[in-house]
Amino acid sequence: MNSIGREFIERTKYQYLEKSDQSNHLPQPGLEAEYDASRPIIDLPGHEDIKIKSFDLRKAIESRRSIRNYSHEQLSIEELSYLLWVTQGVVHVTSSATFRNVPSAGARHALETYLLINNVEGVPNGLYRFLAIDHKLVEINTDPDIASRVMEGCLDQDFVRKSAVTFIWTADAYRMKWRYGERGYRYLHLDAGHVCQNLYLGAGSVDCGVCAIAAFSDDYMNELLGFDGVEQFVIYVATVGKINY
């Protein structure tokens, strides 16, 4: 039986790359996915206005643990804004790229951030998307059962529903493939790792713990968020909450 993983590594080597759509002068995809502007929008505090305690980088690295047990304390909207800023914050925009607080292959930044809000001050519970360029949230789904449905999609891991917020990162495949072709699929997963690591490191400065989740039902989560699972798909998940000392 052929190994799917081994074949993926083999077939995404440079020697198999064909001329990219960028090289063929095809139009560049948008810098972020479109959204329904008629949905409620929540302004987030600007990063320059957020006061966060100093937290030594070495301490952040050496104390990093995956935390699944959270207190009932709310995150403030400032703390949520800070965590979004350190994971996907846009520091500069050009006509062809965004430059952010995390690295991305070719500055493609082909990830979008969705949030299951369970316990954030001033934000009604529900599913939201982070609009990175404008640093705002757009409401996606506030059905009372949305947390249970996301938890089910994460194989019934109950700390998803008990977190203050669960980050759900999704990939826009063509935004990366436009430049890198099939090899771009490698870069999507590398980029997801960069983003989640920044979440771990940033969480310590707001007394939060993080648990990254790769165990989720791809098809269920994609259907829940309205993705086809091919051009757009869920790539990584992580829970965040105040540490239960």
* Residue showing tokens 């990175």: 132
Q: What is the predicted pLDDT for the residue at 1?
A: 54
Token pair, residue 68, equals 């699944």
Q: What pTM did the predictor assign?
A: 0.97
- Whether residue 133 is contained in a domain is answered as yes
- Whether residue 160 is contained in a domain is answered as yes
pLDDT at 53 over 90: no
Taking CA atoms, 94 is separated from 10, 20, 22, 91, 150, in Å, by 34, 21, 17, 10, 35
Token pair, residue 16, equals 């198999």
> What does the mean pLDDT of the chain come to?
96
Rounded Cα distance between 132 and 87, Å, is 10
* Residue showing tokens 């316990």: 119
Q: What is the predicted pLDDT for the residue at 215?
A: 98
Rounded Cα distance between 52 and 230, Å, is 39
The CATH number of residue 178's host domain is 3.40.109.10
Which of 39-53, 73-87, 139-153, 209-223 has the least mean pLDDT?
Answer: 39-53
Residue 105 belongs to what domain range?
Answer: 39-242
Q: What is the CA radius of gyration of the chain?
A: 18
How many domains are there within the chain?
A: 1
- Whether residue 24 is contained in a domain is answered as no
- Whether residue 203 is contained in a domain is answered as yes
Q: What is the predicted pLDDT for the residue at 188?
A: 98
